[in-house]
Amino acid sequence: MTKNHNLFRHQHIFCCCLLFLTFIGPLSAQDLMVSGKVTDGQLPISGANILIKNTNSGVVTDFDGRFTITARPSDTLQISYLGYTTLTIPINNRSTINVTLQEDATALGEVQINAGYYSTTDREKTGSIARITAKDIELQPVNNPLGAMQGYMSGVNIVQNTGVPGGGYDIQIRGKNFINGGTDPLFIVDGVPYGSESLGSIAISVGINQGNTSPLNAINPNDIESIEVLKDADATAIYGSRAANGVVLITTKKGKQGKTEFNINMSSSLGTVSHFLDLLNTEQYLRIRREAIINDGRYDIENPAYDFIWPDVKTWDQNRYTDWQEELIGGTAYRKNLQLSVSGGSERTRFLISGSHQNETTVFPGDSRYKKIFLHNTLNHQSKNQRFKINLSTVYSIEDNRLPRTDLTSKAYTTEPNAPALYDGNGQLNWENNTFDNPLAVLEEKYQADVNTLIMNAGVAYQIMPSLELKTSLGYTTYNLSSYRILPNTARLPSYGFTPETYSNITTNGSERTSWIVEPQLNWHTQYGKLKLNALLGATFQHQNTDQLVLNGRGFPNNSLLLNLAAAKTITVMEDSDSKYAYQAFFGRVNFNWEDRYLLNLTGRRDGSSRFGSGKQFGNFGAIGAAWLFSEEELFNFSSILSFGKLRGSFGTTGSDNIGDYKFLDTYKITGADYDGVTVLEPNGILNSEFGWESNQKLETALELGFFNNRLILNSAWYKNRSSNQLIGIPLAHTTGFSELTGNFNATVENTGLEFDVISRNINRSSLKWTTVFNLTIPKNKLVKFPSLETSTFANKLIIGKPVTIKHLYHALGVDPETGVYQFKDYNNDGVINSSGDKKWIEDLSPEFFGGLGNTLTYKNLKLDIFFQFKKQKAYNLFRSVVNPGYRRNIPKQLLDYWQNPGDTTPIMQATMGYNSSLSSSISQQQSSNAAVSDASFIRLRNVTLSYQVPQNMLPAIDLSFYLQGQNLLTITSYDGPDPETFSMNILPPLRQITLGAQIRF
């Protein structure tokens, strides 16, 4: 119910205010100059009309909601504001009045919701649209818009990939629809489609995030006014082929009518790893290592020949202990953010100019950092007769990424506890006589990425007649990535004998993606008696170019010349590609509204894409949505309990062309090799012009209820999405020279689910407010149809009736008490455990349910927001990485309960260094068994914000507020890994962050 909660709290952003002054009782002989300020409890309400009923004189509140008006001591102020309850205040000889209005949920029908090509209201929408607004986003210390959405929306599952700055997010809207396709929705920023795929991911992965750097990092969350997520067919079908996975609409802030206002927002954050693993100490580690040496038959520990192979048990200090988690990921990450903005304007012209600078470090040693600069401006103008309107919006960002090439998290968990110091007495990397592979050597492998992003939009509209409007949306985006990594010989053990001439190399990546879009539209509306009719007709013309050049230079005279490719002995072209994508569409919408209670919405779109061959380029998509506001029927007119009731449903089809460019053609790629001085090309794509659009049919029914004058709102929805005509990379035999052939498969994937949203306004007094929001999603996914699955190459991956996210695993039976080796169920009873016949245990790692619970308490100028995120799921545990003690690496203490003697009953096998070949298969099979999966459910205290608004009478010239924010402060879980969502020992988990900030308006 997050969207409605925000509608309660942000009426002032989207509505006009009407403030009436009426006179009650006899007039006094003496007038007063009454000044005051109107707010919604947190922010001023600007542009309010204050009228004196009898004289028609009045004023308009300024940008800060302030007013001054002539009244008399016996007069009474009657204050009303659209979306808020009417307030009556006697003057009683007061000359200063500060007014705080309380939200009124009964006016939600006036709040505009962005539905993409059109706007609607929460009352009249026939589709499923989730929403968060600036107030919710500002409560979270995140640097990516997706981070602000985590846990706040039903049906939207978002997972943060890493705790390293600039990392990406995985997002699923109502499940995974396609077997081989991605789950990213269509992102639209101020009307301009914005590619979510990273150019780093289609290049050679050279940075710590390994291709997961999100382009959405280029959008400053503090510049966002609202984020709407379109989920069902009625809401998404108008976007046709691009909306199979849903649509995310990001709307940036605009200037407001009123005096020129300056806004300064300053914040400083501290971040630390929230959870360390309980690893072995030196005594425990060495004891197990010695047992492993003996078990593997390498019992001559005293032999000097093994000093180099086993330095941890022979030459290193046997009493030394270092907590490598503290050393490598135990630092404090700092983030400093400064944002300045100026906005204002008249009734006809409004503007906003905003700039911000953010600098963030990591918890790793060294001076790595991630810096961003944002520029955002908007200009809105309308002619005097309001028939011509133009809106201009620009978002520009510069990202300077100087993070390590390699995540040090895995080293923090595995480095031997008695390993030597990181630096020698001269401050140089310590290799300990070539026996210590120093984890900080990766810091010598310098990495830098510079990303420039530009998003521009122009909206031009002309009112041809009162009921007919012609408008055009023009958009342009560029995304430029320039990065390099250097691998000097000094980052490797000196014993390898590498020199700059034989080893040192640099890889550079220069990539650019540009896109333009033109969308002319014609809007018509009219009314015939009780029928309101709205119609929309439009077209889309889009073109996108992607260019990429990846070079590798190897062999340098010395490492100081590594940044100069011309100094390289050999230069190899690793990737040289360019692709073009053309897209066009025609779309329409017709909306019928009868008596404001019966609603019907029809949408349709015909798409054409250059990603398909001749005769397959075009696809047709559409939807029907209907709603019945049954609370408007006479039966409920006198109900004091039910204040709002709506039954709605939708059915329609969207599609997908998200397969990449030129898949239907024979294609070639550069191999990086040459033959007699000639660059070698090799085929990497095989001709198949017969495949076409993927299709996703969506069905939904929903019930929306409001009780007790909408102080309690309950929304529920059931959905079923069926995705067919799956575009799958069909594996081919290696003898063909190709790994796969792209084609349509007559397979069907079904996603069903229940979504619940609740808003409860528990206390709603002038000085004390308490609001609770709750959302819950129960998703189900299954493969409905896949012809001849048993004989296909997908037989070991998919099962009819099971989710497409399942994992085929061995069934672990524990440790054999006599041999100390892991045992597994022999499903085919052939006496051999192998993947072809015995990986029959099925686990699904997708969530069983997820959601969020938030509470907001406001007492006068003090406000407290608390939000919990929860999820029921399974995930890979520590056994996925390590299942046996004895390797030359540290391990969690859970592995201390290991087999030592015949007859022992333990969950962990005998100690081994990995030299015993008879144990190798048992180790790898345990890592791919159900023992490596465990419950990873959690309840996370995701956000806590305490804010204080300095009273206006203390600082009359400015608005000053302070806030203290916390993120990921507490996680309640039985999961024993680093983090239940990222569940990896190789990736830095999301950090616990504390932010202190101040905001000044004047």
Query: In Å, what is the CA distance from 689 to each residue of 182, 686, 979?
Result: 22, 10, 45
DSSP string, 723-774: EESEEEEEE--GGGT-SEEEEEE--EEEEEEEEEEEEEEEEE-SSEEEEEEE
**The pLDDT of residue 106 is above 60:** no
Q: Given this model, what pLDDT does residue 759 score?
A: 95
Q: Give, in order, the Cα–Cα distances in Å from 1001 to each of 342, 953, 959.
A: 10, 15, 5
Residue 930 has φ and ψ, to the nearest 5°, of: -65, -15
Instruction: Enter the tokens of residue 179.
Output: 């077997």
- Those residues whose C-beta lies under 8 Å from the C-beta of residue 919, and which sit 6 or more positions away, are 821, 884, 909, 910, 912
pLDDT confidence tier of residue 2, bands split at 50, 70 and 90: very low
3-state SS, residue 447:
strand
Which residue, 70, 96, 77, 127, is CA-closest to 650? 127
**637 vs 403, residue with greater confidence:** 403
Question: What would the 3-class secondary structure string for 612-662 be?
Answer: CCCCCCEEEEEEEEEEECHHHCHHHCCCCCEEEEEEEEEEEEEEECCCCCC
Contacts of 496 (CB under 8 A, 6+ apart): 503
Q: Which class for 452: exposed (0-12), middle (13-18), buried (19 or more C-beta within 10 A)?
A: middle
CA distance 198 to 481: 9
DSSP 430: P
Mean pLDDT of 483-506: 93
* Helix (H), strand (E) at residue 835: helix 835-838
Close Cβ partners of 364 (under 8 Å, ≥ 6 residues apart): 328, 329, 331, 404, 408
* Structure confidence by residue, pLDDT tens digits, 915-943: 888 888 899 999 999 999 999 999 999 99
Computed over its alpha carbons, how large is the radius of gyration of the chain? 32
| Average pLDDT of every residue of the chain | 86
Question: Which stretch of DSSP H or E encloses residue 580?
Answer: strand 570-594
Q: Which residue has the tokens 């949920």?
A: 105
Q: Is pLDDT at 22 greater than 50 in this prediction?
A: no
Average pLDDT (517-537) is: 94
Amino acid at 222: N
| SS3 call for 788 | coil
Using alpha carbons only, give the angle 256, 259, 260 rounded to the nearest 5 degrees: 85
Burial of 418 from C-beta contacts in 10 A (0-12 / 13-18 / 19+) = buried
The tens digit of pLDDT for each residue in 738-767 reads 777 777 888 999 999 999 999 999 998 888
What average pLDDT score do residues 94-114 get? 66
| pTM given for the model | 0.86
pLDDT > 90 fraction of the chain, expressed in percent and rounded: 58
Cβ-based neighbours of 93, under 8 Å, separated by 6 or more: 32, 73
Q: Do the strands 49-52 and 18-22 form a parallel or antiparallel pair, or are they unpaired?
A: parallel
* Contacts (Cβ under 8 Å, ≥6 apart) of 76: 22, 23, 24, 25, 88, 89, 90, 91
Token pair belonging to 87 = 């307030």
Token digits for 309?
């192979």
pLDDT digits (tens, 9 = 90+) for 590-616: 999 999 899 999 999 999 988 888 888
CB 149 within 8 A of CB 137: no
**Tens-digit pLDDT profile for residues 328-374:** 999 999 999 999 999 999 889 999 999 999 999 999 998 889 999 99
- Tell which residue, 449, 465, 483, has the closest CA to residue 370: 449
Asked if pLDDT for residue 14 goes beyond 60, the answer is no
What sign for the dihedral angle of Cα 151, 157, 161, 165?
Answer: negative
Q: Is the separation of the CB atoms in 388 and 462 below 8 Å?
A: yes
Q: Looking at per-residue confidence, does 446 or 744 come out higher?
A: 446
Give mean pLDDT, residues 479-489.
Answer: 92
The residue among 298 and 977 whose pLDDT is bigger is 977
The Cα 172–Cα 803 span in angstroms is 15
What is the pLDDT at residue 30? 61
pLDDT exceeds 90 at position 302 = no
584's tokens: 């066009």
Least confidently predicted of 96-105, 140-149, 291-300: 96-105
d(CA 736, CA 272): 51
Return the amino acid letter for 610.
Answer: S
State the maximum Cα–Cα separation within the chain, in Å, rounded to a whole number: 110
User: What are the DSSP calls for 533-566, one per residue?
Assistant: EEEEEEEEEEEEEEEEEEEEEE--SSGGGTT-GG
Please name the helix (run of DSSP H) or strand (run of DSSP E) that holds residue 290, with its range, or none.
Answer: helix 282-295
Phi, psi (rounded to 5 degrees) for 190: 50, 40
**Residue 412 has what pLDDT?**
95
- 466's CB contacts (< 8 A; 6+ apart) are none
Q: How many CB atoms lie within 10 A of CB 778?
A: 17
Choose the weakest-confidence range: 100-109, 160-169, 216-225, 777-786.
Answer: 100-109
Q: Cβ contacts of residue 421 below 8 Å, gap of 6+?
A: 430
Whose CA is closest to 459, among 656, 677, 190?
Answer: 190
Residue with structure tokens 């301009």?
192
Contact predicate 475/517, CB 8 Å: yes
Sheet holding 186-189, edge to edge: 129-133, 224-230, 247-252, 186-189, 192-194
Alpha-carbon span 888 to 909, nearest angstrom: 16
Coil/strand/helix, residue 484: strand
Closest of 470, 585, 584 to residue 535, by C-alpha: 470
C-alpha–C-alpha distance, residues 35 and 30, integer Å: 16
SS3 315: coil
Q: Is 386 helix (H, G, I), strand (E, B) or coil?
A: coil
User: In the numeric block, which tokens belong to residue 55?
Assistant: 């004289």
Closest C-alpha among 446, 369, 357, 338 to residue 398: 357
Helix ranges (DSSP H) in 47-123: none
Spatial distance between the Cα atoms of 189 and 793, rounded to a whole number of angstroms = 40
Copy the structure tokens of residue 929.
Answer: 């068994």
- What average pLDDT score do residues 984-1002 get? 92
Average pLDDT over residues 532-548: 94
- State the pLDDT at residue 296: 86
Select the more confidently predicted residue: 825 or 302: 825
